[in-house]
């Protein structure tokens, strides 16, 4: 069996050219062999930059390329479903940027196509590959934290350009679709299930029409989560403001950079045990900068090669979309909404 997976990329979006495609060059089990760009000039520039042998001017042509094993989909949010379906139907494995789809019904259809074709598809949440999340699991196994009872998570950044696709409600823009996906996914990763019901408070930009400040309570039954995500608050640098605090039955953990690292950056887990006071940790775990986009591509490629590595089914994305839909319903109703 070949020991590399041949990758093709649909489009030359910034997240592709700045994060995932460079990661493909670093991952030992991956080889970037094809690019499709509807802008021929931009496509040539990107292909030359990354030394990509196959350049296509249509997405369909890339999907028909026999050299491609797996396809990365970094297209605008509203196009994820269409091209993930087409890629699976064309016999390609799929790594699709978040949010995987804009509705739960679309994810359900993707699950059906995945099962019928026998191919592998994941939502591109690179943060799940960072070793700090494995360290959290180790802390849970050791019993320092005890059962997690509550989580508080915040993500924020200033996305003020009206032309930014994050500010287009028709394209799946807004704080919940952009940053809320991280927050909900992280909470579900912590609690290992979906919330039963949610209540939300959303504040909308009066001109752009997107939710720019969104807060919510997620009720998991015997544990709770609180989240706030904002696209017109916090810093305007190269990365988002992020914070995740977990309260356990016998301790606590604070993450200072829990989700997407636009650039590799040192991060820490502050751990408090049963003797800690205030917010002063009993221990601090330090993680050197790692490229979790490289880790994601390498792990995904090794999965396709038959190695025993972790993976996350798109049922996780389905749970996230069902939660998002309940949050929007809560904003309309003004009360608690069940997560279907």
DSSP assignment of 182-235, as one string?
A: HHHHHHHHHHTS--SEEEEEEEE-TTT-SEEEEEEEEE-SS-EEEEEEESBSS-
Q: What is residue 129's three-state secondary structure?
A: helix
- What is the rounded CA–CA span in Å between residue 76 and residue 11? 10
pLDDT at 1 over 50: no
131-294+321-338 fold: Dihydrodipicolinate Reductase; domain 2 (3.30.360)
Give mean pLDDT, residues 154-165.
95
Q: What is the largest CA-CA distance in the chain?
A: 62
Nearest to 104 by CA among 229, 194, 214: 194
Tokens 């690179």 belong to 126
pLDDT at 208 over 90: yes
The token pair that represents 221 in the structure block: 């039954």
**HSE value, Cβ hemisphere, 13 Å, CA-based, for 309:** 17
The single-letter DSSP state of residue 170 is G
Q: Which of 55-64, 111-120, 141-150 has the lowest mean pLDDT?
A: 141-150
Each residue's pLDDT tens digit, 121-133: 999 999 999 999 9
pLDDT at 36 over 80: yes
Contact 32, 24 (CB under 8 A): yes
Q: For strand 224-230 and strand 211-219, is the pairing parallel, antiparallel, or unpaired?
A: antiparallel
Q: Give the other-Cβ count within 10 Å of 45's Cβ.
A: 14
pLDDT at 142 over 90: no
pLDDT at 194 over 60: yes
Give mean pLDDT, residues 153-161.
96
pLDDT at 325 over 50: yes
pLDDT band at 2, cuts 50/70/90? low
Decide: pTM greater than 0.85: yes
- Cα 220 to the center of its chain, rounded Å: 21
Each residue's pLDDT tens digit, 80-122: 999 999 999 999 999 999 999 999 999 999 999 999 999 999 9
pLDDT band at 139, cuts 50/70/90? confident
CATH 3.30.360.10 domain range(s) in the chain: 131-294+321-338
Give mean pLDDT, residues 156-181.
95
- What is the rounded CA–CA span in Å between residue 330 and residue 340? 13
Q: Which of 98, 157, 170, 303 is catalytic?
A: 98
**Bridge partners, 97 (sequence order):** 124
pLDDT at 340 over 60: yes
* Residue 180: predicted pLDDT: 98
- What is the rounded CA–CA span in Å between residue 149 and residue 140? 12
* Residue 141: predicted pLDDT: 82
**Dihedral pair phi/psi, residue 308, rounded to 5°:** -85, 90
Catalytic residue check, 98: yes
Give mean pLDDT, residues 180-188.
98
| Percent of the chain surpassing pLDDT 90 | 96
Contact 187, 259 (CB under 8 A): no
Give mean pLDDT, residues 199-225.
98
Contact 293, 126 (CB under 8 A): yes
5-124 fold: Rossmann fold (3.40.50)
Give mean pLDDT, residues 36-58.
96
Burial class (CB in 10 A: 0-12, 13-18, 19+), 272: buried
**Dihedral pair phi/psi, residue 93, rounded to 5°:** -70, 155
The single-letter DSSP state of residue 252 is E
**Bridge partners, 285 (sequence order):** 269
CATH 3.40.50.720 domain range(s) in the chain: 5-124
Alpha helices in the chain (DSSP H): 14-15, 21-26, 40-50, 59-63, 80-89, 104-117, 131-142, 175, 181-191, 292-304, 315-333
* Residue 144: predicted pLDDT: 87
pLDDT band at 3, cuts 50/70/90? confident
Tokens 């021929």 belong to 40
Give mean pLDDT, residues 210-226.
98
Mean pLDDT value across the chain: 96
């Amino acid at each position: 069996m070949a020991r590399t997976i041949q990758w093709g990329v649909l489009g030359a979006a910034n997240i592709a050219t700045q994060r995932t495609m460079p990661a493909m060059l670093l991952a030992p089990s991956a080889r970037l062999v094809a690019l499709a760009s509807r802008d021929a000039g931009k496509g040539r520039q990107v292909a030359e930059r990354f030394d990509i042998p196959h350049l296509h001017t249509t997405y369909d042509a890339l999907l028909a390329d026999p050299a491609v094993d797996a396809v990365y989909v970094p297209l605008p949010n509203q196009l994820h479903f269409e091209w993930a379906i087409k890629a699976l139907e064309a016999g390609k494995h799929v790594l699709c940027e978040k949010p995987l789809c804009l509705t739960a019904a679309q994810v359900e259809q993707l699950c059906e196509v995945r099962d019928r074709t026998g191919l592998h598809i994941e939502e591109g949440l690179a943060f799940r590959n960072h070793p700090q999340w494995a360290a959290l699991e180790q802390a849970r196994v050791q019993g320092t934290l005890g059962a997690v009872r509550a989580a508080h998570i915040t993500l924020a950044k200033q996305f003020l350009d009206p032309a930014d696709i994050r500010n287009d409600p028709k394209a799946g823009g807004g704080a919940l679709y952009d940053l809320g996906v991280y927050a909900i996914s992280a909470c579900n990763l912590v609690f290992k299930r979906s919330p039963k019901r949610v209540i939300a408070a959303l504040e909308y930009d009066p001109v752009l029409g997107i939710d720019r400040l969104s807060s919510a309570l997620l009720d998991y039954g015997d544990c709770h989560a609180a989240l706030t995500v904002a696209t017109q608050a916090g810093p305007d640098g190269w990365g988002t403001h992020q914070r995740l605090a977990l309260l356990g039955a016998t301790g606590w953990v604070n993450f200072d950079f829990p989700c997407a690292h636009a650039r590799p950056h040192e991060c820490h887990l502050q751990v408090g045990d049963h003797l800690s006071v205030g917010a002063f940790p009993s221990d601090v775990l330090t993680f050197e900068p790692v490229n979790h986009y490289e880790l994601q591509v390498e792990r995904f490629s090794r999965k396709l090669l038959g190695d025993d590595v972790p993976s996350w089914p798109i049922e996780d994305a389905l749970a996230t979309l069902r939660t998002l839909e309940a949050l929007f319903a809560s904003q309309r109703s003004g009360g608690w909404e069940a997560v279907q």
